[in-house]
Amino acid sequence: MPTRTRLLVSFVAIALLVLTVFGIMAYRIANESALLREAMAMQATVDEIAGQMTSALQVLPPALDTLRGLRLPYLQHARLFLVHTADGKSVPLGGLERDQFPDKGKLLAQLANTAQPASGQLLYRNLQYTWASVFIPGTDLRLTVVHPSIDVEFATLRSLGMRMLITAGIVIWIAVWGALIITALLTKHLNKQNARLVHQALHDDLTDLPNRNLLYDRIEQALHRCHREGQSLALFIMDLDRFKEVNDTLGHHFGDHVLQQVGKRISATLRETDTVARLGGDEFAVLIPDAHMQDAQSCAEKLLATLDVAIPINGMSLSVKTSIGIALYPQHGGDAESLLQHADVAMYQAKRSGSGFNIYAQDQDPHSLRRLTLIGELREAIAAGQLELHYQPKVNLKQQRTHDVEALVRWQHPTLGLILPEEFVPLAEQNGLIAGLTDWVLHTAVKQCCDWRARGICLRVAVNLSAHSLHDLNLPDYIAAILKAADLPASQITIELTESAMMSDLARAMDIFERLAAMGIRLSIDDFGTGLSSLSYLKRLPVNELKIDKSFVIDMAEDENNAVIVRSIIDLAHNIGREVVAEGVQDRDALQLVEMLGADTAQGYYISRPRSAADLETWLHDSEWGLRVQGPRGDTLHLV
Amino acid sequence: MGLRWQPNVGRFDQILRLGIGIAMVWVGFIDSEIIGDSLMANLLGLFGLFNLVAAVLRVCPFYTLADINTNNQDD
């Protein structure tokens, strides 16, 4: 039942209840007073009759018979009249129903004795009677007369009923009105309250700008319109740079003030039709309908210019830098979720580069669909055998032989084709899959090494470790266990770690390297020259070789500086007793040059690209750097 | 809430008020013997008068107060 009806019914019910109670009360009071009046009137009449009787008694001999013989007009209509003597006897003298009141006489005598003069009502055989009792003056006799009561009830009802009816009408009318007015007022109040709550739920308390929920809604609406009318839209996500410092140094009160000012400025810069929202913290969003790339850019520039003006606070002026990320519909997403996410990505890119604003570009996005897909599938790929190891030969330049190969992981994706480790290894690192990947690589490499050994191919296999592997202090024990299970001498395995990975946690790298070296495993620092090694540590690290980063080697022929660096690294390494591997040897000149500069080992596409195990075996068989030994007569003997 | 003196009594409402108003004024002021009580009769008469005025002006102050409008619904 709606509130209005419920209130109406209850008001009318209360009105009716009150009317009924008051009606009954009024009726009873009116009734009683009418009866009382009748009794009093009767008493007066009887009093008069008693007076007449006295005069009759004075004339006649005083006897009850005399009284009985009196024909007084009033008494002739009485139902009963009787005389009580002084000794308590009641003698009915006359009346229409004299014989029907045998007991009532006594009752009346008792009543009459209690007070004098007396009157009242009595009920006999469902009929109401009024009686009055008075002394007959000059005698010790008392006269009581009983008369049927007049129909008080009907009279009362007649006089009261109409008034009650009218009152009821008016009261109910008022009740209905009252209920209607109260419901209307309540509804009004509730609507106002509701509007306030809705506003509160959809707006930010501090700046009174729309919040994330409302922004979502507005984006959805704008997208519907765009979809219908083929328009585009721009979504900005703005973040104040180093806002936390403002809060921390000046206090939250000032921080809030800054946010309010920023909110006001953004709103003032934009059109009425644009939506400015505060997403929380120091993050704002702007929705610009019907905006293309150029509009978005000019808008962003305008916003940056406005926000660049220092905010005056407490006598000082505070300058806040802002980073804006822009996502456009339809280029960067078709729904609110993806637009917001992409604008967020662009914003972080802008923050990192300090460029002020940045328009979303998919290749910068760490969360692009391809990457998310890869993350989801990498775990299964390891189990499903989609990964494989390829091996790239490392040629010993003095002997012109291949003694080492570097194992490189490849992901043969069923739909996306070959995926290189540069793409999926960082994903594995970021998503906790690196331990599983390292595990698989170690096992596969060791197994392959054993397999070759069993067939007389003696190759050392180098395995790359990720910086994340350093977190696992059990790694040396784990590697030892794998080697033991495969019955492979530790010297057959080389562990490579990039210089930057090593420098990220030098102490831990030292610890792990020392334990690995103690086991007899060869250690190698990969991409050397790019990670800003501490030379003092380099001296103490138990590494066997340094691999010069390919960026130096590739440009060596053209760039003299690179040649100098390569030479210096080689000299340095040799001086502290380390071997040198030159990576990225892509042509004959480079090979000759690194050989001339004294590198111990060379690796690169000129020698061989990474090959599958079977392919490598063929290469070893055919290549001039393969596993051959010179026979005594100049022919070649293959170890294969 | 401001009191706006715009018509808020609809056609049906107006006729109803006219009927009730005339009856009440009749019973209250003109043929008050029916009631037999002067206070009641006057009260009823006033009530009727009020409704009569509201019906003629098509404005009910209580409706204005409560934001009720029977005018739109009838039109």
pLDDT tens digits for A364-416? 666 666 777 787 788 888 888 888 899 999 999 888 888 899 999 998 888 87
Task: Give the whole-number percent of chain A exceeding pLDDT 70.
Answer: 88
Q: Is the Cβ–Cβ distance between A505 and A470 less than 8 Å?
A: yes
Q: Which long-range contacts (CB under 8 A, 24 or more apart) does A86-95 make?
A: A86/A140, A86/A141, A90/A144, A91/A64, A93/A64, A93/A67, A93/A68, A94/A68, A95/A146
> Would you say domain A384-542+610-638 falls under CATH 3.20.20.450?
yes
| Edge-to-edge strand ranges of the sheet holding A322-329 | A275-280, A283-289, A233-240, A322-329, A357-359
* pLDDT at residue A278, rounded to an integer: 93
Angle at A211 between CA A209 and CA A216, to 5 degrees: 125
Residues 6+ apart with CB under 8 A from A353: none
Question: Is B49 in the A-facing interface, judged by CB distances under 8 Å?
Answer: no
* B23 shares contact with chain A (CB less than 8 Å): no
Which residue matches tokens 């802002």? A322
Q: Which residues of A touch B33 (CB under 8 A)?
A: none
Cβ–Cβ gap B67/A162 under 8 Å: no
For A283, the enclosing helix (H) or strand (E) is strand A283-289
**Which residues in chain A are classed under CATH 3.30.450?**
3-154
Decide if pLDDT at A295 tops 80: yes
Residues carrying CATH 3.20.20.450, chain A = 384-542+610-638
> ipTM of this model?
0.71
Higher pLDDT, A321 or A106: A321
- The pLDDT of residue A319 is above 50: yes
| pLDDT at A517 (0 to 100) | 92
Q: Do A181 and B47 touch (CB under 8 A)?
A: no
**Does A139 score more than 80 pLDDT?**
no
Q: Is the pLDDT at A628 greater than 60, yes or no?
A: no
More confident residue, A218 or A93: A218
pLDDT in tens, A328-378: 988 888 888 888 888 988 888 888 777 888 888 876 666 666 777 787 788
DSSP A210: B
CATH class belonging to A3-154: alpha beta
Torsion sign over Cα B9, B13, B15, B21 = negative
pLDDT attached to residue A630: 40
Q: What percentage of residues in chain A have a pLDDT greater than 90?
A: 21
Cβ neighbours of B67 in A, within 8 Å: 184, 187-188
Mean pLDDT of chain A, nearest integer? 83
How far is CA A585 from each of CA A546, A551, A627, rounded to the nearest angstrom?
Answer: 15, 10, 20
End-to-end distance of chain A based on CA atoms, in angstroms? 94
Token duo for residue B20 = 């009730």
Query: Per CATH, the architecture of A212-367 is what?
Result: 2-Layer Sandwich (3.30)
In this prediction, residues A204-222 reach a mean pLDDT of 91
Helix, strand, coil fractions of chain A, as percent rounded to 5: 55, 20, 25
Do A303 and A286 contact (CB within 8 A), yes or no?
A: yes
| DSSP for B23-71, written as a single string | HHHIIIIISGGGT--HHHHHHHHHHHHHHHHHHHHT--HHHHHHT--SH
Neighbours of A297 (CB within 10 A): 15
- Whether B16 and chain A come into contact, CB under 8 Å, resolves to no
Is A55 a residue whose pLDDT tops 80? no
So what's the pLDDT on residue A431? Answer: 75
* Strands ordered across the beta sheet of A80-84: A90-94, A80-84, A142-148, A127-135, A118-124
- Interface contact flag, B68 A184, Cβ < 8 Å: yes
| Of the candidates A336, A330, A389, the residue with the CA atom closest to the CA atom of residue A212 | A336
Token pair 């009449």 is found at A45
Where does CATH 3.30.70.270 sit in chain A?
212-367
Task: Report yes or no: B40 at the A interface, CB cutoff 8 Å.
Answer: yes
In chain B, the percentage of residues whose pLDDT exceeds 90 is 11
